Amino acid sequence: MVAEREQEGKLDEVGVSRPSSVPEGASRYALGVQSLSQLDENQVENLEATFEDISPDLARLVIEYGFADIFSRPALDIQHREMATLAALTAMGTASAQLKFHIKAALHIGVSQIEIREIIILMSVYCGFPAAINGTLVLKEVMSESSSS
């Protein structure tokens, strides 16, 4: 199939593949902080403050693994990565606090309210109406908070 496409003059871009998204000389923590701060400039401090007295290692793991190793990978832009995150959190149906954060983050980086709503509605097909309804209620809460501020 690839050979046929090449014979037709169609050149496909080769996917980006790197074993690590951490630039040489940088730390995973620093890259994670940079990635997370794109979504919310205060979230690193909020996350660390939330867990400092009970599990500071959990905050570091979220920052290093979630936002350095995973979120900063190059093949998806930040908006598409956030859309996938919204879909996953909606499908879980049990992560309202995380979904709320990521809805706010998505809005902050340019994903529209309509796109977020459609992602949540689409999840009803894959994970059922209860999860989609819960996600919609979180979106409603975020929109109510933003209109009152």
- Please report the pLDDT score of residue 1 as a whole number: 66
Q: Say which residue the tokens 């994903």 belong to.
A: 111
Single pTM value for the model: 0.83
Tokens (6 digits) for 58: 């959990």
* d(C-alpha 131, C-alpha 89), whole Å: 9
Task: Render pLDDT for 83-127 as a digit per residue (tens, 0 to 9).
Answer: 999 999 999 999 999 999 999 999 999 999 999 999 999 999 999
Query: What does pLDDT average to over the chain?
Result: 91
**Percentage, residues of the chain above pLDDT 90:** 75
* d(C-alpha 119, C-alpha 31), whole Å: 28
Task: Render pLDDT for 63-82 as a digit per residue (tens, 0 to 9).
Answer: 999 999 999 888 889 999 99
Q: HEC string of the chain?
A: CHHHHHHCCCCCCCCCCCCCCCCCCCCHHHHHHHHHHHHCCCHHHHHHHHHCCCCHHHHHHHHHHHHHHHCCCCCCCHHHHHHHHHHHHHHHCCCHHHHHHHHHHHHHCCCCHHHHHHHHHHHHHHHCHHHHHHHHHHHHHHHHHHHHC
Mean pLDDT along residues 26-52: 95
